[in-house]
Structure 1
Amino acid sequence: MDRNTWDKKTPPGFTELRKEAMTVELCVYSLQNSRMKEINQVRAVAEAAGKIWCQGGVNVQVVHWEALPPLSIAGPLNLNSTDLARQIPCGSLSDAARSQLSTIGKPNAPAGDPTRLVAVYCIPGNGFQDAPSASGCHQFQFQGNTSPDHMILLTDSADGRVLAHELGHALFVRLTGPNSWMNEDPDPGRNVSDRLHNANPPNLMYSSVSEKPSISPEQVMVAQKSRLVTRQSLFYGFRENKRYKLGVDIKTLHVDEVSDEITSDNALESSWMFAVGTSIIKNRKPYENSRLTPGDYDLSGSFDNPLLEVESDTDKLTLDVTGTDRDFFPFNDELPHIHKEWSKGEDLWGSTSSDPGAPTGQHQEGPVKNDEIKYSVTYAIRVDDAPLEEIFRHIC
């Protein structure tokens, strides 16, 4: 899948925005009597867990959610109990109870390899039989070298930190030899008496998750190699099918120093070319000055370029300033070249940022210098027209 179950659909006339990234996918089911029975509750928990696992470059994605009806699956557990968690000893769950939970399966899950989807069951109750203060439990089943099938149980008191912790247990499951699987914490700081957990309180895999848990490089390396993690082209927003249009106004030519040929006075007879453009449109404007001396030359309004269309997000906005000192002997001199490239970035080709203390979108390039001149240029960038865009998820 390429999106969360709650992500918006792309409206007509818009293009999906995507980014390739590592992803672990969940199918979440709320059992009868669970307090987590609204999609927004599930979303809040999943997104909080996702922020934690972004430290390791792994996106957490919920590809399916539903509230299950009353269940009549035979076994030692009463799956319709109002306090199901208290029936479950997570650390010593019997094969019969594990099989009963596994029989719930992943109803209505997206097509594909079901063992690559982690089933998350939201169950009623606030603590397990063998751990009254615990609010999450991870279990996995396998037969021989076949791929493990994972499930996570979240009680009514679970939050995103608990889900992130239990996902850690799932992501650390690895084959160590023929018919041999384990999910010990791969971090060197694991607890020697409880090797599934970490001995460092700030670590995500400590038995009680801290407010801002961390993930170690060793844990990241194992998690990213998990068969639960796949590289996908993830949908994170959409944009209207039209181009950005930029405007560039050359405002001021600042001249600090000039030095003309020996036989002349100290003023340059200069010809200039100011060029701005993208891959689609190039605009060039000439400027002549027969007596250029130190000072500021106001060019506002003379070099306005209101329709610089941008081909794509990777297109660049370029500024080039070139000039020539017209001499009588022996030949004309080239003045130093100013070249600047702007990428889209977060500031839209420089239109939403500025030099310190300057109006938004205003920048100065230079000074540049050679034997004839030392100068700089002030210019302003703006967005004249922009496609409507909505970004509704962060991709790690």
Structure 2
Amino acid sequence: MDRNIWDEKTPPPDFSEPFAELRKDAMTVELCVYSLQGSKKGLEQVRTVAQDAGRIWCQAGVNVQVVHWEALPPLNIAGPLTLNSTDLARQIPCDSLSDAARSQLMAIGKPNAPAGDPTRLVPVYCIPGNNLQNAPSASGCHRHVNNPPDHMILLTDSADGRVLAHELGHALFTRSAGPSSWMNEDPDPGRNDNFPIHNTNPQNLMYPSVSVNARISPEQVTVAKESRLVTRQPLVYGFREEKRFKLGVNIKTLHVDSVSDENFSDNALESTWTFTVATSKTKESSKVFANSRLTPGEYDLSRDYDFPLLEVESEEDKLTIAVTGWDWDFWSPDDDVPSIRAEWSKDEGLWGSRLGSTSGAPTGQHKEGPVENSEIKYSVTYAIRVDDAPSEHIFREIC
């Protein structure tokens, strides 16, 4: 499955068509969660517990994903446990669970689970009661049987995300110990020699009482990622409208430092300028500025030289801004003014709209030049903005 059961299946109502799902390949362990009769863990409680456990396992780059949740009806499975008891937890001593009790719990199975290899889905049973038998502080339990192993995690009403993360650690550390043999000792060097499925470091996830800032060691990460329960999947984490970017460019000022006209003429240029903006060969737009007496100074063009809604064909398309011009001469041939050309890609601050190259100016404002020849020295200031853009909606983080 490509998302948690509570993640959005369709784009939000304010999205326009067409849209695309945002996906990322990621290491994932999948859970089927069942709430037995009397359990206080409904879907929202399960969501909180799973998300908190997922944040811990993100340290290892493993995503915890719930692919099924179900509130089970009263169960009629023979065995030593009264499965419909309102305090079922008090009947279960995890460390000394009998074969008959384990078989009875395993017989619950994974009803209505998604199709696939059932041994790669970890069932989590939420049971009523706060603590397990003979363990005042124990609120979670893990067991596995068979070859390849089938897993089972029990969570009481008081179990939180740290408890689920810890019990999931026991499952992810289950690895081959020889033909038809499996073990789940803590792979970290700090494991408890007297109880090797646990760790001696209070900050480690596999310490019997999980700390608020539980850590997962590199050795534990390596074993977890090699677990047969972990698969690489393209997970959906959001939606994106498939409309194109539209950019805007405003030519703000033409700054003339100096001019020198032909002989026998005053020092004012009879000039014509062309400002061209393009996002592709088919999306070119130009505006002409004519001045019969161009002298040194700053010319404000911002009001009339704006280029809105320049559509970008693709994210590889570039935004080009060009300035060309010529000076009319009476006694001699006309002269071209030195040209300016600037090119921006999406990677450059979203076509320059998020960058600023003019000191003290707002974001998106840029200056090109000065450039010069024998007749003129000048520079141009312009601003780039995003007039419209694809909307993205992110509903989860992928490790």
Give your verdict on TM over 0.5: yes
* 3-state secondary structure, aligned to 2:318: strand
AA partner of residue 81 (structure 1): S
Q: Match for residue 136 of structure 1?
A: 140
| TM-score, length-scaled by structure 2 | 0.79
Q: Match for residue 181 of structure 2?
A: 180
* 3-state secondary structure, aligned to 1:342: coil
Alpha-carbon separation, structure 1, partners of 2:232 and 2:70: 25
Q: Match for residue 397 of structure 2?
A: 394
Q: Match for residue 66 of structure 1?
A: 70
| 1:383 CA drift (Å) | 3.4
Distance change >3 Å, CA 140–CA 269, structure 1 → 2: farther
Q: Match for residue 105 of structure 1?
A: 109
Distance change >3 Å, CA 139–CA 326, structure 1 → 2: same
* 3-state secondary structure, aligned to 2:54: helix
- For residues 57-92 of structure 1, the C-alpha deviation after alignment (integer angstroms, 9 at most, x for no partner) is 222211111111122212222212222222222223
Q: Match for residue 199 of structure 1?
A: 200
Q: Match for residue 224 of structure 1?
A: 225
Q: How does 1:276-287 map to 2 (within 5 A)?
A: 276-277=278-279, 282-286=283-287
Q: What runs of 5+ residues in structure 2 fail to find an aligned partner? A: none
Alpha-carbon separation, structure 1, partners of 2:191 and 2:370: 60
AA partner of residue 28 (structure 1): V
Larger radius of gyration: 2
AA partner of residue 196 (structure 2): R
Distance change >3 Å, CA 296–CA 110, structure 1 → 2: same
Distance change >3 Å, CA 321–CA 95, structure 1 → 2: same
Check the 8 A contact 2:34/2:69 in 1, yes or no: yes
* 3-state secondary structure, aligned to 1:42: helix
Given candidates 305, 322, 328, the residue that maps to 2:308 is 305
Q: Match for residue 243 of structure 1?
A: 243
Percent identity, aligned pairs only, is 53
| TM-score, length-scaled by structure 1 | 0.80
Check the 8 A contact 2:308/2:387 in 1, yes or no: no
| 1:227 CA drift (Å) | 1.4
Q: How does 1:319-334 map to 2 (within 5 A)?
A: 319-323=319-323
Distance change >3 Å, CA 105–CA 296, structure 1 → 2: farther
| 1:367 CA drift (Å) | 5.5
Alpha-carbon separation, structure 2, partners of 1:324 and 1:51: 56
Aligned residues: 381
Alpha-carbon separation, structure 1, partners of 2:168 and 2:254: 59
Q: Match for residue 164 of structure 2?
A: 163
Alpha-carbon separation, structure 2, partners of 1:10 and 1:107: 26
Distance change >3 Å, CA 386–CA 336, structure 1 → 2: closer
Q: Does 1:126 align with 2:123?
A: no
Check the 8 A contact 1:268/1:293 in 2, yes or no: no
Distance change >3 Å, CA 19–CA 384, structure 1 → 2: closer
Q: What runs of 5+ residues in structure 1 fail to find an aligned partner? A: none
Alpha-carbon separation, structure 2, partners of 1:83 and 1:3: 33
Check the 8 A contact 2:247/2:312 in 1, yes or no: no
AA partner of residue 4 (structure 1): N
Distance change >3 Å, CA 182–CA 303, structure 1 → 2: same
| 1:114 CA drift (Å) | 0.1
Alpha-carbon separation, structure 1, partners of 2:342 and 2:70: 60
